[in-house]
Each structure stands twice: as C-alpha cells, then as structure tokens.
C-alpha cells in the first residue's frame, strides 16, 4: 500500500516536471516568419476585459501561424506582478501597459524595446495619447485605447427631479445640482453624485484644468477642487469618503443600482455599462456629459490615461510582436476595440461610427458631444518618480477627504514630503 | 527506510573491509543518511530563505532598480532611512502595533484557555468557536471588520450609541485606525494561541493543584503559584511567536486600511513592500528590512536572556 502510494506520487512528480519546465521557457522559435510562433502577451483579468480576447481572436485569424498565449494576471495585482516578472528576466513578448506610471519606470530602466519605427508608420502618428509615451525622443509603447474622464448620469433620476440633463457646467453649478438631486435618507438615500476614493477624482482633474504639475512638488492648485469635493460631501450630496473606503464601495455598483444620479469616471465605464445592460445585470438609462469646468474656462478640458502595448527587451518573438502591435493599434484593431464599447486610441470618424452605432449605446447628441473633449491631459506625467509621488499624494488625499487634516495643512504636507522624501 | 539502515552494516561487503576503515565508512554513512533526511528542508531553506536574506544584507549597501546591475552606495540607504519621515513613522507604528497586539493577544488567549480548560458540556464546540477566526480567510476578516467599524452604519458604533457614546471614525480616523486594526488582529489570532496555552495547562500535573488546595489556597493563589510558573515554557514560546508576528504584520493592515488614513497604520513591512516592489528601490527597501531584522533579533535576544535568568532562579 505504502509502496504503491509512493509510486503514484513519484509518477505524478515526474509528469509535472516537463510541464513545469515548459511553462518557464515559453516559446522556443525566434522570429521565424514561416514556422508556427507562440506569442505571449501579458493581460489583466481577461474575463472582465473583453478587448484582449477580441483582439487576439482577430489577429490569429489574420496570421494563422501565430498563436497568442495570454499571461493573465489579476487586475489588482497587475502592476506588481509585471514589475516582478520583468525584474526576474521573464521573456513574455508583449507587455501591456496598464498605466503610464509604470511605463516610465520600465522605459527608464531599459526593460522595453525601442519601437519608434512603428510609432512613425501608418496611422500610428495620429494615435490619441501617443505623445505621453515619448521618452528621450523614443517610443517604447503604442497606445491602443485612450480613456478620458467624463460625467456619467442616470436619466431616470434627472427626470424624477424634473431637472434637464447636464451639459457643459461649472464646478459650482455641478455642486448645486448634486445637492438638488439628493433624496431620501438612511439605507434608501440616493446621492446627487458619487466621488470615488481615488486621488485622481480631485487631483488629476484640477491639475488638468489649472495646468498644475503633479510631480512638481507644489500643490496649491488643488485647493479649489478640494473645496468643491469637500463641500459636496459636507452637504451630504455625495457618499462620505470614510464610508466609501470602509465599505470598499464600487463606483460601478453605485451607478448601476441607481444609488447616485451622477458619477465622474473614466470612459472605460461605457463598455461596462453597455455590456451589463445587454446582459441584463442593470436596466439603468444612462448617458454621459463633459466633465464640469472651472468658471471662465474655454472649451472642455479633462484628463485621461492611455493603455498601450510594448515589447519586452527580452522578447523571443520580436517580429510577431511588432506585427501584433501594428495590428492592434491600427485601423483594424481600433474597429475591434470600438466594437465592444471601448474607446480606441485611433479615434477617427470611422471608429466613432462603429462606436456610436453599437446597439444599446446612448443616442443623444449630448453623449456624442461629450465624446469630443477639447483637451485631454495625461493623468500622471511619465517620470520615474511618479510612483513615489503617487504614494505620498494618495496618503495625504485620504487625510484631507476624511477631514483628519485641513485642505491647507494637507497641501503643505504634500509639498514638503514630495520635496524631501522623493529620491 | 528502517530496513535500509539496519540491514546494510551486516552486508558482506562491509564486513570484509578492515576494521578502522569500516568504522569511518559507517560514520560517513550515518552522516550521509542524516544529511539526506534534512536535505529537502535544507535545500528549501537555503534557496528561498537564506540566499535572499544574505542578498538583502548586501543590497542594503547598494542602489538597485531590480533590473540593471546594482551599484555600491555605502551607507547612503541607512542615512536616508533615519531622515525619511515615512520610514520613521512606519517604525513607530510598528512598535505601537506590537505594544498593543502582543499583551492583548496573550491575555485574551490565556483567558480563553483557562475558561475552556475544564470539563463541561460542549467544551469542544466552544474551543472550535474560539479557533474559528484563525482559520477564516484573512481578507474576509479584514473586510468584515472594516464594515463593523463603519462610522455611520457600523454595529460597533451603534452598540456604543446605546450607552450614549458617540463612536469615532475608526478606520477613517488617524487616532483610532491603529486600535481598530489591533482589535481585529487580536480577535483573529487569540484562538491559535489559546490552543498552545490549553496544551500547556494540561501538562501541569493535577497533584500540584491538589496539594495547593490541601494547603488552603484560594483560586487566585493557585493561579499565581501553580498555573503561571507551570505555563512559563508555553508563555515564553507564545511571547516569541507573537513578537515576531507583530513585527512582520502586513496582510491584515494592507487589506483593512492600506496603511491609511494618511500614514496612520503604515507599518515597516508595508513600507518595505512599497519602496521595493512598487517604487522599485530595492536597495533602500533592503535597508529598511535590515532595520526590521535587527529590531526583531534584539527583542528576541532580550526575551531569551530574561527567560534564562528566571529559569536559573
């Protein structure tokens, strides 16, 4: 009995051996254009991020000899996991850039391949957000989707309050509107708006609209925006920051269950709302307006964050990787991305037509206007210090929003910490 | 396996050899067998604990981004460490956490063990109940306690409200976030140390209690004179385990408060994670790790010294 058990164990260990080593070495053949190639691509939460599968399927149809093997990582762990992978000499061919903060680090350390030639060919020069990826006059990544922030709203709640749908507003008008849309109390309270707990909700929008520098170490320009955000919270027109953090409130749940009338959020929410409505998860009647602006501002300024593909310096299948990036960021890729409700970086009349033509997308003119902001500023500048500064700004943001510190004291602390601690 | 050891010395090839050589080869053989027994553990220890620890000491004197070759910077990381407000805050927070967590967990675990170390109906059930938090997923524990501590709708503040106490913001307040985290960790870990104490209690001979009773002692005197000295080996073990546990706390705080609000619950382990993995400053993160290592080492040595002195008494 014992011996048999031992044998079974040994056999399964022997069987696992080649399996394990196969995982480590991934694909063998290097860049041969004829032989079958396995291209590895890092992705996050593929089941809830439909664009990956859509792009991979279409690409494999076009290049039957290339098989794409996704390296799927939980979205919340993505940034950390990729850092560890690259530091460990991992040879995953394509590294997807979830945000520009990490991109700065990777490019600075020489972990990514220079793809400037791709950036200057075909439709690539017209990609939205391309300039964010320029480092030392070179490009190490090309964006394939470009999300920007807008104001989502629940039409039914506006109708019930007898208010016209929002269009261009100032922040003061927005605050007043949020108060007038707040109804009920306790568990059945419906808030005028919901500000998610991220620091960008206050900080990135004020940097974009005042021209402030998020990595400069001087943050007085946050003051007005904190006044607005805290004013709305104090008036009870937005869920209290402390409650949102302790309950880990999801912004998606807030809008989908009709707990808030408005929600400033990135355009990635469009794809989610569109898909959830299609699948019957929610029946919310929603649309989108431009972000509120500072009084006296001309045009619509918002902030955004592109998502990009880059090639690992240690990639084994460079040819195939370049083909994929060219495809995913080009017109075909953009049409596929737009076809599942996601804003492609190649935003022209063709892709807009695909996007607005989707069954179940809001059809009002306001939605289409909101889709053309005049200026989209990068959420966080590309810099190898961004990550450290982000930590400090986040810490002080929570203190100001939970009223542990006054706005002035919080900003003073941001200034001094960024100036002394960041190295 | 036992066959192998006993059978081989009697095999003819061994007997045929001259005596002194045989003794030496037997010694070698025994050593080899001994080594082969600890080898699996040793390989694991060397590969995933010892080498990284040694690398950490070396890296603490270097600047390294985790990718390009490290460069030697001497004591720069340590000079920065003692000037860096965030790291110093993390150090104080870690000490604060330890000072709250270690004695409270010990008291709670001992109390539970004393309560459940008797013959009564359903004692196994109550022991299981007390142990249950320890085997519950830590993320679930953190999230549920976070909701319990919710300043507006949380049951904790509602309960306090019945006594006319206006509860604080708990995890959203810089003053109360750390106590909230400590309460949660004590609740989670007390069941585990209760088991250790229960084992210790049952190892105390019954005769001692009977003799003490005959001498006319009351319950408190018996606890002082019999239980406490009898439990000393267990208490020592628990104290060391708790201290180490307290200084390397990370997971619970990371899920519950992410070190916030601000840096009110930022602890050393999280600061190491933040500077190393997130910011990519592995040299500086190693320097903080050396500080944490030294801290735990010194505290453990003090405890050993203290225990040794008591034992001699």
What residues of chain A score a pLDDT lower than 70? 1-34
3-state secondary structure of B203: coil
What's CA B51's distance to the chain center, in Å?
22
What's CA B278's distance to the chain center, in Å?
25
Q: What is the pLDDT of residues A65-94, one digit of tens each?
A: 999 999 999 988 898 899 889 888 899 999
Tokens of B132: 């249950």
Measured in angstroms, the CA of A247 and the nearest CA of chain B are apart by 6
Q: Are A151 and A264 in contact (CB under 8 A)?
A: yes
Q: Are A380 and A214 in contact (CB under 8 A)?
A: yes
Q: pLDDT band at B23, cuts 50/70/90?
A: low
Closest partner residue to A402 among B67, B152, B261, by Cβ? B261
Q: What is the pLDDT of residues B101-140, one digit of tens each?
A: 999 999 999 999 999 988 888 888 988 888 999 998 988 9
Q: What is the pLDDT of residue B12?
A: 46
Chain B residues close to A111, C-beta within 8 Å: 67
Q: What is the pLDDT of residues B279-313, one digit of tens each?
A: 888 999 999 999 999 999 999 999 889 888 877 76
Distance CA A38, CA B191 (A): 50
| CA separation, residue B226 to residues A26, A149, A374, B202, B236 (Å) | 64, 69, 80, 12, 16
Nearest chain A residue to B144, by CA: A247
CB contact under 8 A, A421 and B174: no
3-state secondary structure of B256: helix
- The conformation of residue A162, written as its DSSP 8-state character, comes to T
Closest partner residue to A243 among B66, B150, B173, by Cβ? B150
Chain B residues close to A387, C-beta within 8 Å: 278-280
| CA separation, residue B151 to residues A227, A245, A293, B154, B180 (Å) | 23, 11, 33, 6, 12
Chain A residues close to B147, C-beta within 8 Å: 246-247
Q: What is the pLDDT of residue A29?
A: 40
3-state secondary structure of A385: coil
CB contact under 8 A, B147 and A246: yes
Highest mean pLDDT among A321-330, B168-177, B210-219, B301-310: A321-330
Nearest chain A residue to B171, by CA: A246
Nearest chain A residue to B148, by CA: A246
Chain B residues close to A84, C-beta within 8 Å: 277
Chain B residues close to A109, C-beta within 8 Å: 65-68, 280
Chain A residues close to B284, C-beta within 8 Å: 423
Q: Which residue has the tokens 């080594």?
A: B35
Q: Which of A301, A79, A342 is nearest to A204 (CA)?
A: A301
* DSSP code string of A277-313: HHTTS----EEEEPPPB-TT--S-EEEEEEEEEEEBT
Best mutation site among A80, A88, A402, A411 for testing chain B: the one with the most B CBs within 10 Å? Answer: A402
Chain B residues close to A417, C-beta within 8 Å: 85-86
CB contact under 8 A, A247 and B146: yes
Beta-strand relationship, A301-311 and A142-154? antiparallel
Q: What is the pLDDT of residue A386?
A: 85
Q: What is the pLDDT of residue B238?
A: 94
CB contact under 8 A, A241 and B172: yes
Beta-strand relationship, A375-378 and A301-311? parallel
Q: What is the pLDDT of residue A220?
A: 95
Distance CA B260, CA A111 (A): 32
Distance CA A401, CA A195 (A): 11
CB pairs under 8 A between A and B: 90
Measured in angstroms, the CA of A398 and the nearest CA of chain B are apart by 6
In degrees and rounded to multiples of 5, residue A363 shows phi and psi of: -105, 0
Chain B residues close to A399, C-beta within 8 Å: 174, 260-262
SS3 sequence of A390-417:
HHHHHHHHHHHHCCCCCHHHHHHHHHHH
Positive or negative: CA dihedral A208, A213, A217, A218: negative
Chain B residues close to A423, C-beta within 8 Å: 80, 281, 284
Measured in angstroms, the CA of B281 and the nearest CA of chain A are apart by 9
| CA separation, residue A104 to residues B132, B159, B246 (Å) | 45, 49, 36
Q: pLDDT band at B19, cuts 50/70/90?
A: low
**Chain A contact for B277 (CB, 8 A cutoff):** yes
Q: What is the pLDDT of residues A195-228, one digit of tens each?
A: 999 999 999 999 999 999 999 899 999 999 999 9
Which ipTM was obtained for this model?
0.72
Q: What is the pLDDT of residue B17?
A: 52
Measured in angstroms, the CA of A312 and the nearest CA of chain B are apart by 13
Least confident of B96-105, B253-262, B269-278: B253-262
Closest partner residue to B279 among A87, A241, A388, by Cβ? A388
Whether pTM > 0.80 for this model: the answer is: no
């Amino acid at each position: 009995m014992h011996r048999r058990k031992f044998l079974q164990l040994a056999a399964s260990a022997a069987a696992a051996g080649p399996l394990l080593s196969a995982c480590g070495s991934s694909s063998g053949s290097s860049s041969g254009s004829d032989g079958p190639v396995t291209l590895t691509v890092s992705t996050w939460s593929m089941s809830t991020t439909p664009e990956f599968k859509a792009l991979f399927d279409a690409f494999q149809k076009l290049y039957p000899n290339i098989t794409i093997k996704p390296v799927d990582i939980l979205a919340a762990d993505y940034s950390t996991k990729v850092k560890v992978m690259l530091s460990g000499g991992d040879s995953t061919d394509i590294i997807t850039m979830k945000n520009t903060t990490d991109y700065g680090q990777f490019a600075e350390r020489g972990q990514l391949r220079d793809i400037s030639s791709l950036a200057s060919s075909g439709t690539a020069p017209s990609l939205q957000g391309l300039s964010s990826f320029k480092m030392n006059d070179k490009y190490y990544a090309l964006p394939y989707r470009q999300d920007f922030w807008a104001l989502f709203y629940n039409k039914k709640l506006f109708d019930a309050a007898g208010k016209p749908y929002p269009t261009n507003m100032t922040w003061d008008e927005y605050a007043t509107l949020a108060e007038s849309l707040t109804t009920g109390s306790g568990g059945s309270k419906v808030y005028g708006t919901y500000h998610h707990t991220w620091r960008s909700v206050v900080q990135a929008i004020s940097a974009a609209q005042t021209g402030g520098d998020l990595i400069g170490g001087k943050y007085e320009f946050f003051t007005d925006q904190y006044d607005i955000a805290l004013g709305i919270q104090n008036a009870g027109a937005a869920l209290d920051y402390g409650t949102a953090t302790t309950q880990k409130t999801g912004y998606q749940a807030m809008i989908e269950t009709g707990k808030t009338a408005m929600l400033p959020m990135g355009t990635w929410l469009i794809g989610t709302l569109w898909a959830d409505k299609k699948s019957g998860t929610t029946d919310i009647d929603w649309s989108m307006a431009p972000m509120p602006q500072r009084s006296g501002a001309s045009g619509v300024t918002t902030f955004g964050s592109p998502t990009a593909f880059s090639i690992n310096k240690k990639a084994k299948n460079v040819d195939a990787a370049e083909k994929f990036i060219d495809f995913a960021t080009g017109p075909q890729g953009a049409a596929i991305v737009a076809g599942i409700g996601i804003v492609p970086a190649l935003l022209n009349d063709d892709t807009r037509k695909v996007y607005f033509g989707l069954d179940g997308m809001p059809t009002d003119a306001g939605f289409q206007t909101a889709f053309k902001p005049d200026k989209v500023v990068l959420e966080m500048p590309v810099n190898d210090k961004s990550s450290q500064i982000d930590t400090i700004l986040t810490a002080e943001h929570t203190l100001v929003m939970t009223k542990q510190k006054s706005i002035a004291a919080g900003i003073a602390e941001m200034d001094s910490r960024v100036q002394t601690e960041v190295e | 396996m036992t066959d192998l050891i006993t059978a081989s010395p009697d095999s003819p090839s061994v007997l045929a050899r001259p005596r002194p050589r045989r003794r030496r080869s037997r010694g070698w053989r025994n050593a080899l067998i001994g080594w082969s027994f600890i080898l699996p553990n040793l390989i694991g220890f060397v590969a995933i604990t010892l080498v990284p620890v040694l690398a950490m000491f070396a890296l603490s004197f270097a600047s390294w981004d985790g990718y390009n070759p490290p460069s030697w910077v001497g004591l720069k990381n340590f000079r920065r460490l003692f000037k860096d407000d965030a790291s110093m805050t993390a150090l104080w927070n870690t000490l604060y956490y330890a000072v709250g967590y270690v004695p409270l967990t010990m008291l709670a675990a001992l109390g539970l063990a004393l309560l459940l170390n008797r013959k009564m109906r359903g004692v196994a059930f109550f022991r299981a109940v007390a142990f249950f938090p320890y085997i519950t997923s830590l993320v679930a524990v953190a999230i549920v306690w976070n909701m319990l501590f919710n300043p507006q709708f949380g049951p904790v503040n509602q309960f306090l409200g019945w006594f006319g106490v206006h509860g604080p913001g708990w995890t959203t307040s810089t003053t109360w976030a750390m106590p909230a985290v400590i309460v949660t960790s004590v609740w989670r870990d007390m069941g585990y140390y209760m088991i250790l104490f229960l084992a210790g209690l049952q190892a105390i001979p019954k005769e001692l209690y009977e003799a003490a009773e005959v001498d006319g002692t009351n319950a408190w005197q018996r606890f002082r004179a019999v239980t406490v000295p009898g439990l000393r080996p267990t208490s020592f073990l628990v104290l060391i385990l708790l201290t180490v546990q307290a200084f390397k706390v990370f997971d619970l705080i990371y899920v519950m408060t992410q070190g916030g609000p601000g840096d009110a619950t930022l602890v050393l382990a999280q600061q190491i994670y933040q500077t190393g993995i997130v910011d990519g400053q592995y040299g500086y993160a190693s320097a903080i790790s050396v500080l944490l290592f030294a801290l735990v080492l010194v505290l453990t040595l003090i405890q050993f010294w203290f225990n040794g002195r008591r034992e001699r008494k």
